[in-house]
């Protein structure tokens, strides 16, 4: 690179930072500069060390070696509060709100405005919260508890909190994974305006379209090591992927043709007032059917109702011809349905339990056929899936909480795949999963369909929908607006229906 050195020292830099967890070298000799007035992307596979780097900058972890510099001066952050005081704000991969506190209390925790009597001035706090949300262009009631907020709203609260610090360094670790198109646009415009005001922004995402649309420079990491930093204009997606993975990869694995069998899942007239209406479709053995649409179209709500997590007002669900009672996930599982939920951290994993126990949690009855659950069979089942999903972990006996975000998601997938279902419902199966493993998950789904499973896939990623689905159902505002067979599903036809237009003539 030939650009001249910046006049002032960068607001934040890392110099030779190393960090290990036991045997895992999460960071090794990483040096990096975040400049004022840039949006800087950090790319790397699941487990490459991105979140560890973020937590080191944020004062959550202390580096084993090397140092952090603020405005060119070596600095030690003893705690996250220290980092915050230095103007570093972080939006973490996992939302960190306190569910029982109000939205406003979460934002102003430890710095609540006080009234004369040194009591917390709620009126002032709520007004300040309203002003932050107004800047973001959203409306969330400041006094409501954080519990029950959608993931998107939780992220927005985190962003409002970061903005309330007037951060000079804003770090966003996969902030967009659960946001809709308009919410992503809003977030990007906030990031751009912070940049234009001179902040340094670090952005982490597994979505290359976002990285290339938003960022000025891209740093690639692999296996805890720094690989490269370049201006976006000098890079292509292929170059970045090759540096991340260290080899060539197929970025998409198209579904193979399979024999269609009997109808395994049949949904008819499913209606829940105000949420979805008259939803009907079927999925045959050997088939992958995608539920496409924009975030908020009601797709997750439909599959939750099918599986029995949520109730519905009208309609029927049948599995292999037999009616399924509503509101009973246990009955759905007994009938052979598995659901890999969208919000895996809340619904999918027991964080403090080991990886292998999580991975085999749902098939314990099968493994313990002879009375005692043999440790060996548990290890074996876990190893098989860990291997197929390229799980990056220290030991399978470690707690799931020690895994990187993407690797936690692989454990949830493993757990449900191990149940050997007849009908597999996956909600955003590759969210947060890196480019190399994505292809592996696609290969796996295709393989399972080939074995006679019926697969229903909710996905917001168009390439995934177009590459994987035999049929695409498009939802808009709670209704199915189009059904497109493989040959007719294109980016245009799916988007057309997803934005509320009736079936293309
Ligand atoms: N608290 C911890 N204890 C033990 N190991 C950890 C801990 N935190 C992270 N690791 C390990 O460090 C490595 C890097 O993890 P990190 O979370 O930084 O990855 P990442 O690049 O953010 O991946 P992803 O894209 O999946 O979010 C992984 O092997 C992970 O298992
Ligand atoms: Mg991470």
pLDDT in tens, 469-499: 999 999 999 999 999 998 899 888 988 888 8
Q: Cα–Cα distance between 486 and 505 in angstroms, integer?
A: 16
Q: Which atom of ligand 1 is nearest to the CA of 50?
A: 21
Mutate to test the pocket of ligand 1, among 17, 43, 47 (most ligand atoms within 8 A of CB): 47
* β pairing state of 38-43 and 200-204: parallel
Q: How confident is the model at residue 369 (pLDDT cuts 50, 70, 90)?
A: very low
Residue pair 201/214 in contact by the 8 Å Cβ criterion: no
Residue pair 69/36 in contact by the 8 Å Cβ criterion: no
Residue 404 CB–ligand 1 contact under 6 Å: yes
Residue 28 CB–ligand 1 contact under 6 Å: no
pLDDT (tens digit per residue) in 27-84: 999 999 999 999 999 999 988 999 999 999 999 999 999 999 999 999 999 998 899 8
Residue 406 CB–ligand 1 contact under 6 Å: yes
In the DSSP assignment, the letter for residue 6 is P
Q: What pLDDT score was predicted for residue 505?
A: 43
Q: Cα–Cα distance between 175 and 136 in angstroms, integer?
A: 15
Determine which residue's CA is closest to atom 8 belonging to ligand 1.
Answer: 402
Residue 402 CB–ligand 1 contact under 6 Å: yes
84-102 in b/e form (b: 16+ CB < 10 A) is bebbbbbbbbebebeeeeb
Determine which residue's CA is closest to atom 6 belonging to ligand 1.
Answer: 402
CA of 351 to the centre of ligand 1 (A): 14
| Element containing residue 157 per DSSP (H, E) | helix 151-164
Point out the ligand nearest to the CA of residue 396.
Answer: 1
Determine which residue's CA is closest to atom 24 belonging to ligand 1.
Answer: 46
Structural domains in the chain? 12-97+149-245 (3.40.50.300), 260-336+422-505 (3.40.50.300), 350-420 (no CATH)
Determine which residue's CA is closest to atom 7 belonging to ligand 1.
Answer: 402
Mutate to test the pocket of ligand 1, among 390, 397, 402, 409 (most ligand atoms within 8 A of CB): 402
Mutate to test the pocket of ligand 1, among 14, 19, 26, 393 (most ligand atoms within 8 A of CB): 26
Q: Which atom of ligand 1 is nearest to the CA of 403?
A: 31
In the DSSP assignment, the letter for residue 1 is -
Q: How confident is the model at residue 251 (pLDDT cuts 50, 70, 90)?
A: low
pLDDT (tens digit per residue) in 114-131: 777 778 888 999 999 999
Residue 157's nearest CA partner among 95, 199, 68 is 95
pTM reported for the whole predicted model: 0.78
Residue 52 CB–ligand 1 contact under 6 Å: yes
Point out the ligand nearest to the CA of residue 221.
Answer: 1
Q: Which atom of ligand 1 is nearest to the CA of 93?
A: 27
Point out the ligand nearest to the CA of residue 407.
Answer: 1
Residue 436 CB–ligand 1 contact under 6 Å: no
Q: What pLDDT score was predicted for residue 161?
A: 87
Phi-psi label, residue 430: left if phi above 0, alpha if psi -120 to 50, beta otherwise: alpha
pLDDT (tens digit per residue) in 276-320: 999 999 999 999 999 998 877 889 999 999 999 999 999 999 999
pLDDT (tens digit per residue) in 188-210: 888 898 899 899 999 999 989 89
């Amino acid at each position: 690179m030939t650009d001249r050195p910046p006049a002032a020292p960068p607001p934040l830099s890392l110099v030779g930072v190393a960090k290990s967890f036991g045997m895992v070298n999460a960071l090794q000799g990483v040096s990096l500069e975040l400049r004022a007035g840039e949006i800087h992307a950090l790319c790397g596979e699941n487990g490459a060390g991105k979140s560890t780097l973020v937590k080191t900058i944020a004062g959550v972890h202390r580096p084993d070696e090397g140092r952090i510099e603020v405005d060119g001066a070596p600095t030690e952050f003893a705690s996250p509060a220290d980092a915050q005081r230095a103007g570093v704000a972080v939006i973490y991969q996992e939302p960190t709100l306190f569910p029982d506190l109000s939205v406003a209390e979460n934002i102003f925790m430890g710095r609540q405005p006080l009234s004369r009597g040194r009591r917390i001035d709620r009126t002032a706090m709520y007004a300040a919260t309203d002003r932050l949300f107004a800047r973001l262009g959203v409306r969330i009631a400041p006094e409501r508890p954080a519990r029950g907020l959608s993931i998107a709203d939780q992220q927005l609260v985190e962003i409002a909190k970061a903005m309330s610090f007037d951060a000079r360094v804003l770090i966003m670790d996969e902030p967009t994974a659960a946001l809709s198109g308009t919410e992503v646009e809003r977030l990007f415009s906030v990031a751009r305006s912070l940049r234009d005001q001179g902040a340094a922004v670090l952005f982490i995402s597994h979505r290359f379209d976002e990285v290339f649309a938003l960022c000025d420079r891209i740093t690639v990491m692999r296996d805890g090591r720094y690989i490269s930093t370049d201006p976006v204009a000098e890079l292509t997606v292929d170059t970045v992927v090759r540096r991340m993975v260290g080899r060539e990869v197929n970025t998409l694995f198209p579904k193979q043709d399979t024999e269609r069998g009997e109808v395994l899942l049949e949904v008819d007239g499913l209606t829940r007032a105000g949420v979805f209406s008259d939803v009907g479709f079927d999925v045959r053995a050997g088939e992958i059917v995608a539920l496409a649409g924009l975030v908020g179209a009601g797709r997750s709500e439909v599959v939750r109702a099918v599986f029995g997590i949520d109730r519905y007002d009208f309609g029927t669900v049948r599995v292999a011809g037999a009616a399924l009672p509503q509101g009973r996930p246990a009955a759905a599982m007994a009938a052979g349905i598995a659901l890999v939920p969208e919000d895996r951290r809340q619904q999918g994993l027991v964080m403090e339990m080991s990886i292998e126990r999580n991975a085999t949690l749902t098939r314990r009855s099968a493994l313990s056929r002879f009375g005692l659950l043999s440790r060996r069979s548990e290890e074996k089942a876990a190893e098989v899936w860990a291997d197929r999903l390229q799980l990056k972990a220290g030991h399978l006996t470690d707690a799931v909480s020690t895994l990187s975000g993407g690797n936690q998601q692989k454990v949830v997938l493993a757990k449900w795949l191990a149940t050997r279902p007849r009908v597999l419902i996956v909600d955003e199966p590759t969210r947060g999963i890196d480019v190399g493993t994505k292809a592996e998950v696609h290969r796996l789904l295709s393989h399972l369909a080939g074995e006679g499973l019926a697969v229903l896939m909710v996905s917001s990623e168009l390439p995934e929908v177009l590459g994987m689905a035999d049929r695409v159902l498009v939802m808009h505002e709670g209704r199915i607006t189009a059904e497109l067979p493989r040959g007719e599903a294109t980016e245009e036809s799916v988007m057309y229906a997803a934005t509320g237009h009736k079936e293309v003539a």
